Structure 1
Amino acid sequence: MTYEELKNQKDFNVNLHYSVNEVAILAPSLDTFGGDEPVVTISKVEPFNYHPRDYRDTMLDLEDWQEAVKLAQELALTPLNERGWYTTITGLKRHRKPYGGF
């Protein structure tokens, strides 16, 4: 699975946040300030490395959280060099980077 495939799931609307070493699947937070909270993080530099997080402070229900964990596991099992490319926006420039961080 690639990050693009993850982002384009038909029955599961996910928000993704890319950082230097990981990608997070986000869900809307229940706190008074709003925003998004990570429910699963997937390493971009270590294969097979993903971490489910507590979903109870978000608007996700259990079934959606289980689906997010399943998708994260599938992505984590994909070799780093087969995960494809993602686009980040820095200022006004768009940069294309490999998912594996290389």
Structure 2
Amino acid sequence: MTYEEFKNQVKNRNGLGVNLHYSISEVAILAQSLDTFGGGEPVVTISKVEPFNYHPRDYRDTTLDLEDWQEAVKLAQELAMTPLRERGKVIKHDWIKKAQRTLQGILGKG
């Protein structure tokens, strides 16, 4: 499974109610937290640098129910079992590109 396919699978799961977060070393599936601030809590993380490495996390402090959490873990496992070189490029959102250009402008490299 590629990162793009993973993004589409997560997006197409109606009722799952999760978002994705990409960092340098991992992809996280986030669910809305039950705390007063309502931010995103990772329920599964998938390594982008170590093959076959993913970590399910506790979902009980989020709005996910057990079945949705199991579905998220299943998708994460499928991505984690795909060799790194076959996953494709990481999806970069527009705000990341804009932030990179702004930072380059501030540093005088743009």
TM over 0.5: yes
How many angstroms does 1:48 deviate by? 0.4
Q: For the residues of structure 2 that align with 1:92 and 1:49, how far apart are their CA atoms?
A: 28
**Shift of residue 28, structure 1, vs aligned partner:** 0.5
Once the two structures are superposed, residues 16-61 of structure 1 have per-residue CA deviations (whole angstroms, 9 ceiling, x without a partner) of 1111111100000000011100000000000000000000000001
**What is the Cα deviation at residue 92 of structure 1?**
5.9
1:74 Cα deviation from its structure 2 partner: 0.4
Question: Which ranges of structure 2 fall in alignment gaps of 5 or more residues?
Answer: 102-110
Query: Is 1:23 the counterpart of 2:27 in the alignment?
Result: yes
What is the correspondence of 1:50-89 to structure 2 with a 5 Å cutoff?
Answer: 50-85=54-89, 86-88=91-93, 89=96
For 1:92 and 1:46, the matched residues in 2 are separated by 26
* Structure 2 CA distance for aligned equivalents of residues 80 and 59 of structure 1: 31
Gaps of 5+ in 1: 94-102
Q: Percent identity?
A: 78
Structure that is richer in helix per residue: 2
Separation in structure 1 between the aligned mates of residue 58 and residue 27 of structure 2, nearest angstrom: 16
Cα separation, 1, equivalents of 2:29 and 2:13 = 15
Greater strand proportion? 1
2:53 to 49, 54, 68: 49
Name the structure 1 match of 2:108.
none
The whole-number CA distance in structure 1 between the counterparts of 2:38 and 2:75 is: 25
Q: What RMSD, in angstroms, separates the aligned Cα atoms of the two structures?
A: 1.4
Moved over 6 A (4+): none
Name the SS of the counterpart of 1:8 in structure 2. Answer: helix
1:56-90: CA deviation from partner (whole Å, max 9, x where unpaired): 00000100100000000000000101111211414
Q: What TM-score does the superposition give when structure 1 sets the normalisation length?
A: 0.84
